[in-house]
Amino acid sequence: MPKIKMYSTAVCPFCVAAEKLLRTKGIEQIDKIRVDLEPQKRQEMMEKTRRRTVPQIYIDDYHVGGFDDLVALERAGRLDDLLQGAS
């Protein structure tokens, strides 16, 4: 299984929805980085992604983006390939 990393906050409905979608794909482990609890992690996220909003999702080293980007990959039929390790 790929390594999933997600920058998130406790009250973000899009973070919850992204996690739910990934779980339906069989992903059991998501490394959640809570930027609301660790402000320095928000700065890290913004430097890495050039985005200010959560979630910011990585599948292995590939930056997916936010929830809308994750859904777009699913609709395009590319999410399963990414989760299987093919890019």
How does pLDDT run across 26-72, given as a tens digit for each residue?
999 999 999 999 999 999 999 999 999 999 999 999 999 999 999 99
Identify the pLDDT of residue 77: 96
| Ramachandran assignment for 34, one of left (phi > 0), alpha (psi -120 to 50 degrees), beta (any other) | beta
All structural domains of the chain with their residue ranges: 4-84
Identify the pLDDT of residue 76: 97
Q: What is the CATH number of domain 4-84?
A: 3.40.30.10
The two three-digit tokens of residue 52, written as one number:
């200010």
Q: Are 55 and 67 in contact (CB under 8 A)?
A: yes
Instruction: Give the integer Cα–Cα distance in Å for 28 and 45.
Output: 23
